[in-house]
Structure formats: C-alpha cells, structure tokens
Amino acid sequence: MDAHALALLVDIIEAGNLSLAARRLKISRANVSYHLAQLEKQTGVQLIRRTTRRIEPTEMGLKLYQHGRVIRDELRAAQESVATLGKGLHGSVRMSMPTGFGYMVMSGWLIEFKRTYPNITLDLVFDNKVDDLLRDEVDIAVRVMSDPPQQMVAIELAQMRHVVCASVAYAAEQGLPDTLEALQAAPVITSAVTGRSLKVSAYLGAERRELTLSPSLASENFVFLREAVLAGLGLGLLPDYTIAQDILDGRVVNVLDPWRFSVFGTRMFLLRMPDRYQTQAARTLIDFVVAKAAEWRASPTSGQPRS
C-alpha cells in the first residue's frame, strides 16, 4: 500500500472535505478525488462517506487513518530533519491570538522570538473570534474562554479578569458608582459587542451576579479604549492587564473593588489540534509562549492575582 496515498487519506479526513484538502495540498480537487478512488479500489472497500457538506470515514477508513497519521507524521519528521540539517531551526507557524492581548502583551514576545529564531516564518492573526483551527488552518491559537474545547489540547496561560476603572479626573468630577446597579447607569467604555447590550458576569468570592450594560463607547482596539479612559470619557470595563500600570502610577483608580468582572471568559488558553503533526518550529513557539506567559504572570503590570 502506498504510504503517500495513506497520507492523502489522513489529509482528507482532517480537512473534512475534498475541496479544503486540495487547497491545503495545493493540488486540484479532481486530483484528490482520483487518488482517493484509487486507494479505495486498491483496498476494495469504501473509505469515505460523502455528504452534501462533509465527508466521514467508514470503519475501515478510520482504521487506515490511524495508521496513516503515524506514517504521515514520521514522513514529515524525516523531511524536516533533512531540511534542517546544517541550517539551524526553521519552518513556518500560523498563530492566532486575541487583538488586545496580542497587541499589548504578546507583540513584544513575538518580536523577541523572531530575533531569536530568524529563520522561522511567523504568520500572525489578531482575531477575537473563537474559530475552528482546522477550518482556518491555524497551527496554534490563544483564546480567552471559561473552558477549552474538549477536542483540543489546551495549556492554560493566565487568568483573565476585567476591572471597572476610571481616570482620577473623572472620579473627581463625576464621582464613582459604589454598587453594581449604579454601574449600569454609568457611561461604560469597553470592547465591541454585537448589538447594544453587553452581558457581564460579576464575581465577589463565591457570589456571582449577571449584569446587562449598554456601552457608550465600544471598540476592539484596546489601546484606544485605554486612552479613552485616561481622557475621562467614562468608566472602563477592561482586561486588568490593559490598565494595571496606570493604576500603579496613580493615573487610574479601580472601581467596585474587590468585584471582578468577566466578559468573554476567565481563563486564557493556548490551543492546538491533538492529531495534527507539530513541526519543530511549532513546538519551539509553544514552549516560548508558555515560558513568556509564566514570566508575565509574575510581573506587577500583568494584573494577575498574587498568591
């Protein structure tokens, strides 16, 4: 049985349809369909069930997939070893990360990584959507959520907390809310949401309450949101890391402390697909990001809780 045909079967099953597999492999859909038909002819059994939207492996297709994945990954590892021989670490990695944390925190990490590993090509996507890694052909994703998807390998990088905050000038001129109900009537500056209302969870020890806010200023640009808070345009509902240094420097005050707020989730994870072959470049980037996240958590400007 042809090892390359088995590897193609793996690519088809992981892609979920023939067109996406063809696009990833940079060959025509007809070519993919032909080689699949030849493999089914050789084995004498149907390996893939086709539906209008997706394909599904048959029982035999799934067995061959499991063997083929091992063979494909070994082939890729051998190709990578030959390609890197005498050339140092190189390759390419596609990584997706949230806009705010990506711009304000991870940018510095990734610049340092690129200086350390100049021959690794990085394709970086700044995006807040929790998309499917297979569909978007992303090797690694950093996402904020309450719990990671069960079908993915997840490494927790940090806790994510939103705080309500205001500039010192705003506090002096407008006063500050002392209850959650008063917060609902105040002008709130926060990240963009679909529609006008924003559902927020508020935590105080074991107590949890739900709030509905109508932001007066919303954007996905967290640098802009921070500037708007400093300008005294309202109360910020922002991730703690965006404003932690300003609180330390006395430019901003924390409102409704010790309440902590969650908008999109309370934990940040690094995610990857469990069955996808990890290149040495991808493994190196994962280890680097996990190490930098540990350093960042220990810094006073991270806003992370102290033990």
Query: For 300, which DSSP code?
Result: G
| pLDDT (tens digit per residue) in 144-155 | 888 888 888 899
Residues in the chain: 307
Q: Can you list the positions of beta strands (E) in the chain? A: 48-50, 55-57, 91-97, 120-126, 140-145, 153-159, 162-167, 188-190, 198-204, 207-213, 217-218, 235-239, 252-255, 260-262, 267-272
**Contact between 136 and 142 (Cβ < 8 Å):** no
236-274 pLDDT, tens digit per residue, is: 999 989 998 999 999 999 999 888 888 877 899 999 887
pLDDT score, position 81: 66
- The pLDDT mean for the chain works out to 85
d(CA 72, CA 21) in angstroms, rounded, equals 15
What's residue 307's pLDDT?
47
Find residue 290's DSSP bridge partners.
none
Label residue 9 by pLDDT band (50, 70, 90). Answer: confident
According to DSSP, the β-strands at 162-167 and 252-255 are antiparallel
Residue 235 above 90 pLDDT? yes
Residue 86 scores a pLDDT above 90: no
Label each residue of 89-106 as H, E or C.
CCEEEEEEECHHHHHHHH
- Please write the tens of the pLDDT for every residue from 97-134: 988 899 999 999 999 999 999 999 999 988 876 555 55
Q: 55-66 pLDDT, tens per residue?
A: 888 888 888 888
